[in-house]
Structure 1
Amino acid sequence: MRFTIACPHCGARGIARAMEKKSETDWEIDFQCDDVTCGHTYRTKIEMLPPVVPIPRRPRRSNAELKFDL
């Protein structure tokens, strides 16, 4: 599977060509437009952000709760 993003210049598919990890939560990805007549190259930045509020763990369900009436 290829990582793709639409070309900001012509709207065609842009294919990821190189990726550089800047930190544990930041990456820079270089894309190239798949349209030969355009050929635009562009860089994107992906940053993972922690949730604002920690997501609470749900209590584990017992097997009795999973039984179905047949």
Structure 2
Amino acid sequence: MSKSMYFPCPHCKAPSFTRSVLHESNLRSELRLQCSDAECGHTFEVQTEVLYTIRQSAIPDPGVCIRSVTPMERVNA
């Protein structure tokens, strides 16, 4: 099952779609997005980053170090 991340256009609030992705690391990516409204036509970049682990992976990569948080820490974040 594949789900796309929804990111609205900051100007017209229409959905945007991904044009390209640059993976800077295992934890950070830069995405170039384009507004789906042809009249707006805004193209922009966003960054995504893994902040912390909620549930540990069953097949962890030993080269990846992600901070784990408790449910209480998530509420206070």
TM-score grouping bracket, smaller chain normalisation: 0.5 to 0.7
Q: Using the aligned pairs only, state the percent identity.
A: 31
Q: What is the DSSP-based 3-state SS (H/G/I as helix, E as strand, rest coil) of the residue aligned with 1:5?
A: coil
Which residue number corresponds to residue 59 of structure 2? none
Q: Return the TM-score normalized by structure 2.
A: 0.61
Q: Runs of 4+ in structure 1 displaced over 6 angstroms?
A: none
Counterpart CA distance in 2 for 1:54 and 1:2 is 25
Unaligned runs of 5+ in 1: 56-70
Q: Would the alpha carbon gap of residues 19 and 50 (structure 1) be closer, same or farther in structure 2, given more than 3 Å must change?
A: same
More strand by share: 1
How many residue pairs get aligned? The number is 55
State the Cα RMSD in Å: 2.0
